[in-house]
Structure 1
Amino acid sequence: MLDLKADETTNTASTIDVLEHDDAVQTFPLSGVRLHLTLGAICICLFLITIEITIVNTALITIANDLLSFDRSSWIVTAYLLTYVGFLIIFSKLSDILGRKPILLFSIAWFTLWAGICGAAQTTSQLIIFRAFQGIGAAGVYSSCMIIVFELFPAPKVPFVAAGVSMVTALSLVLGPVLGGLINRSNQWRWVFLFNVPAGILTVVMLQFLLPRNFPNALSDEKRHGVQIRLRDFAQRIDYLGAFALLAASVFMVVALENAGLRHPWKSPIVAVPITISGILWLLFVFWERTLTIKKGIREPVFPWSFLNNRLSFGLFLTDFLLGPPSLVAIYSLPQRFQVVNGSSPLGAGIKLLPYTAVTSISSMLMSALASKAQIPVLYIIIFCSVCQTVGFGLLSYIPLSETVSSAQFGYQSLAAFGTGANMTLLIVMSPYLVTKKDAAIAQGAIGQFRYMGAVIGVAIVTCTLNSYVQSHLSVILSREQLNQLLASVLAIEKLPEHLQSPVRLVMAEAYNLQIRILMGFSAAQLVAAFLMWQRNQVKFVLGGE
């Protein structure tokens, strides 16, 4: 059975009632081989969209050197994540209105198309734009897949299945950096995008035949009879203003952070104006979503106000947001350090990152199983894992400034990864039980959205930090021409006079240490945010028979 315990909010209690009611009336149309093949196809989809983040990280230096754009290379990552973040909840809502299957198939096809186009990019600007379009498809794939997983199985099996799906996602963290390094051994970085094409086509074909047309077998007459909503009604239900405000606020914030310190001072209008606009748009978004939720009209908010109005769900999403930078930025920053400071190849950097990515995968499965079998309150484990993150990143941020790799840092990586991986799964599994069934689908999109929103902002912050530190410290020892060449391609280090190469690498090493200290701060803040989910009787889940 599934035992959920909470004491002080009617929201949680009502969620339990709704879940029990739904299990009594909802049918699960897939079983046997067809069910397992469908789940396998969904896992492939999640693997592809996640590995597209990690595989690029070890290839980023090679891409930047080839396209002469080291100072803009972070945009190759953030462009993908920005549209990923901006469209997650939108696709969740679209799948509610138009159906799971058509949205999922469209999203996979869109993602696959733009992955192929990314592989044909000839300039950095082209690649950034193409990656943004690819991220739109990834958002639809993630939100649709996570919703479908929760609808394929009855509630008692959901935590186990969700942990397995999270394991697949974590596996992409392990394989991505290594595959990226292998591909770059021959300098064929375009294959980090092109390999998605055959895999994407395969999953479209599989899901076309495996997933029922009107999946899921939902409760509404509209879906039970497979009736498609009319275009006019569809247009009336979409929250256009909320979707625009959310995406635009994120874009303006990242633009400001990416430009600050390197190209323009913080007081420059090019930095100050986007930050101001972003702040106004965030306020507009919150106000509009609250207004829309209270009105209870036909138009449905992309982010229900009830998520923020309830302390437990607010704590859940805040903790998830703060988990974003540790879960992604380390995979973005550490391979660069290994290549730029320690002179590792892309493959070598991917291998040196294995302690982080492998432990992330193991802990994501281990700690969710521990919470289930030992009936340990989930929040206790989240708090413990947040402490592990804070300590691990703290130790990692003070490794010696040297061109050689310290063996101790692999242990620090593992400690930080242990906490990160476990919390990624635990927050996903908890989300359906802290919101009503009506908002369960959008909550799944919101969990991914908040985490990657945090990751986007985290990448922008650490990029700003590195660029500002490098420019201020290297401008003393390098000429303007040498510095510009370095910002275009880190291969310029090898062309510097020999007596300058080591000092430049040590400056870069300290800049990367500063990036990790920022992750320590996010982890510590995550620990504080987790206490917002504190209850007298903590939430537990136990796997068992029906």
Structure 2
Amino acid sequence: MEKTSSDAQSSLASATNGSFSESEKASRESTDPARLVSITGVRFHFIIAAICICLFIITIEITIVNTALITIANDLRSFHLSSWVVTAYLLTYVGFLIIISKLSDIVGRKSVLLASVATFTIWAGACGAAQTTEQLIVFRAFKGIGAAGVFSSSMIIIFELITPEKIPKAAAGVSVVFAFALVLGPIFGGAINESSSWRWCFLFNVPVGTVVLLIFTLLLPRNFPYQDSQRPRATGVASSIRARIDWLGAVLVLGASVLLVVALENAGLRHPWKSALVVAPLTISGVMWVLLLAWEWKVTRDDGTREPVFPWRFIENRVSFGMMLTIFLLGPPSVVAIFSIPQRFQVVNNMSPLAAGVRILPYTAVSPISSMVVTAIAGKFKIPPVYLVIFCSICQTVGFALLATVPITETILISQYGYQALAAFGCGANMTLLTIMTPYMVTKKDAAVAQGSIGQLRYMGAAIGVSIVTCVLNSYVQNHLSSILSPTQVEGLLRSSGMISLLPVELQSPVRLLYAEAYNLQMKVLIGFSAAQVPAALLMWQKNQVVLGT
């Protein structure tokens, strides 16, 4: 690297408007390397492999379920509720990422990681046994809590296992794991639906999670990353947890997110926009967001025992704020596309889940390629990551703009695959770039919460994005179907898209084309999120840009 991580962090802090205080700078050096446990050899490789498997299964959870969602919804007869199967997982994932990151600081990495993997595995089994959509939504919400813990703990442990100069390579490696999960998820989901029950989309996690749990139990040191006899201990762990965790901040984040999604999911479908059941949650959500900002400002300024779920330092520092805002805006394009494109192939083009999974490969396969390419370019040619983030945001915008103009037809155009690839290049590259930049943006004190914030903000954006595009699709379809179908037929379609094949032949094509128009509208929503990343990324612009080495 051109600079070590600590040098880069120091340069970045001094170059930005919201520079860190002397006490915060000093905290970077507060961890004595002699007190940290060193893991090498076969043990190291087994732990890294287990972490990669964990990150893989919590990421493939999104893509594998998205591909199988039409089948699940049709089997449980609840197409209009299908998006909640996705958003329930994302919301609890978002709500618990930072709080679990902080818990790992207090009670130890290993304890939190084991509990998280166990939670994810148990509720995966419950999802596979669900008998109704409502049950599946609840079980997926609990599974999301486990996934949040797995992600935050795993990411922190990875960066504690390696030396600072290897951070860019490690971040790129993690991004490749995520990307391959995106590639294989749609194919696995489609194949499972074709060869057996959709329930195996969840049940396969049980044996995998059990093996990973065994590896961590046997090989990860009890007090990692500290030597057993040197781990800092608080007097009374329970009281320490109560004092340090920002419980109110966590509740406000989760409550504001849930209420916003509830309002968007209901608006225009089950209730009109002016309904109290839409206006009330929207209003309360807005108030909670304002209260959250005020509370986090107070907790950060108090500088006491309580540790904020989202330090105000991230907002005061223009560069770190720009990074956080960009990752939030990246959430909807990166996740919604994987949610929407396979659905279009199944509903509009009448394809099987497996065929739809194969046809989204241009999107999911280009993502890992772009992750590797941009990392190599940034390192070899010493190009500041912020330049590449802006370029990739433009690629996203153009790609989704082209997808929004796909002709309204039941025929698949070859050009659609190219449009997917262009949008995916921008999304995949930005995920890697922003992950790599994170360690350079914060102090040692905020390292754990910053890693949690990256995942939290991305999936918060994704959850909100899914709810917005679902609202767009449901409202558009319901408003326009009533002109060609009876109320009974409309109700049937909202429960199962498979009902299209049971309609009279002369009505099937108009209905599919109506859905095609709705899916194009969804892509237009993603244009806005992609384009907004450009001014957000410009906030990271500074006189002395961070440059990554090879």
What letter is aligned with 1:134? Answer: K
Q: Structure 1 residues 91, 360: closer, same or farther in 2, change over 3 A?
A: same
Deviations 1:395-426 (A, max 9, x none): 01101111111100100000000010010011
Q: Structure 1 residues 360, 434: closer, same or farther in 2, change over 3 A?
A: same
- Mapping for residues 92-111 of structure 1, pairs under 5 Å: 92-111=101-120
Partner of 1:462: 469
**2:28/2:445 contact within 8 Å kept:** no
Cα displacement (A) at 1:227: 6.7
Deviations 1:438-488 (A, max 9, x none): 001000000000000000000000000000000111111111011000101
Q: Structure 1 residues 79, 222: closer, same or farther in 2, change over 3 A?
A: farther
- Mapping for residues 32-181 of structure 1, pairs under 5 Å: 32-181=41-190
What is the rounded CA distance, in whole Å, between the counterparts of 1:161 and 1:400 in structure 2?
42
Partner of 1:268: 275
Please tell me the root mean square deviation across aligned C-alpha atoms, in Å: 1.8
What is the rounded CA distance, in whole Å, between the counterparts of 2:21 and 2:527 in structure 1?
35
Deviations 1:280-312 (A, max 9, x none): 111111111111111112111111111111111
Cα displacement (A) at 1:54: 0.7
**1:55/1:176 contact within 8 Å kept:** yes
Cα displacement (A) at 1:186: 3.2
What is the rounded CA distance, in whole Å, between the counterparts of 2:504 and 2:392 in structure 1?
46
Partner of 2:489: 482
Partner of 2:16: 8
- Mapping for residues 267-416 of structure 1, pairs under 5 Å: 267-416=274-423
What is the rounded CA distance, in whole Å, between the counterparts of 2:421 and 2:20 in structure 1?
34
What is the rounded CA distance, in whole Å, between the counterparts of 2:373 and 2:353 in structure 1?
30
Identity across matched positions, percent: 62
What letter is aligned with 1:409? Answer: Q
Q: What residue ranges of structure 2 are gaps of 5+ in the alignment?
A: none
Partner of 2:541: 534
What is the rounded CA distance, in whole Å, between the counterparts of 1:38 and 1:287 in structure 2?
40
Q: Structure 1 residues 229, 378: closer, same or farther in 2, change over 3 A?
A: farther
What letter is aligned with 2:397? Answer: T
**2:16/2:318 contact within 8 Å kept:** no
Cα displacement (A) at 1:210: 1.5
Is 1:448–2:455 an aligned residue pair? yes
Cα displacement (A) at 1:240: 1.1
Partner of 1:512: 519
**1:11/1:435 contact within 8 Å kept:** no
Cα displacement (A) at 1:254: 0.3
Deviations 1:244-288 (A, max 9, x none): 111000000000000001111111000000000100111111111
What is the rounded CA distance, in whole Å, between the counterparts of 1:191 and 1:2 in structure 2?
47
Q: What residue ranges of structure 1 are gaps of 5+ in the alignment?
A: none
**1:2/1:156 contact within 8 Å kept:** no
What is the rounded CA distance, in whole Å, between the counterparts of 1:384 and 1:57 in structure 2?
28
What is the rounded CA distance, in whole Å, between the counterparts of 1:366 and 1:404 in structure 2?
33
Question: Given the two structures, how large is their TM-score scaled by the length of structure 2?
Answer: 0.95
Deviations 1:149-175 (A, max 9, x none): 111111100110111011011110000
Cα displacement (A) at 1:520: 1.0
Q: Report the 3-state secondary structure (helix = DSSP H, G, I; strand = E; otherwise coil) of the residue aligned with 2:269.
A: coil
Partner of 1:503: 510
Deviations 1:311-352 (A, max 9, x none): 111101000000000110000000000000001110000000
Cα displacement (A) at 1:369: 2.1
Partner of 2:255: 248
Q: Report the 3-state secondary structure (helix = DSSP H, G, I; strand = E; otherwise coil) of the residue aligned with 2:19.
A: helix
What is the rounded CA distance, in whole Å, between the counterparts of 1:17 and 1:256 in structure 2?
45
**1:47/1:172 contact within 8 Å kept:** yes
Q: Structure 1 residues 16, 331: closer, same or farther in 2, change over 3 A?
A: farther
Q: Structure 1 residues 393, 12: closer, same or farther in 2, change over 3 A?
A: farther
What letter is aligned with 2:109? Answer: R
**2:189/2:357 contact within 8 Å kept:** yes
Cα displacement (A) at 1:386: 0.4
What is the rounded CA distance, in whole Å, between the counterparts of 2:427 and 2:303 in structure 1?
37
Cα displacement (A) at 1:26: 6.6
Partner of 1:493: 500
What letter is aligned with 2:391? Answer: F
Q: Which is further off, 107-116 or 206-215?
A: 206-215
What is the rounded CA distance, in whole Å, between the counterparts of 1:21 and 1:369 in structure 2?
33
Cα displacement (A) at 1:34: 1.3
Partner of 1:224: 231
**2:67/2:343 contact within 8 Å kept:** yes
Q: Structure 1 residues 217, 24: closer, same or farther in 2, change over 3 A?
A: closer
What is the rounded CA distance, in whole Å, between the counterparts of 1:477 and 1:228 in structure 2?
69
The counterpart of 1:185, out of the listed 194, 202, 207, is: 194
The size of the alignment, in residue pairs, is 541
**1:98/1:228 contact within 8 Å kept:** no
What is the rounded CA distance, in whole Å, between the counterparts of 1:353 and 1:23 in structure 2?
48
Partner of 1:258: 265
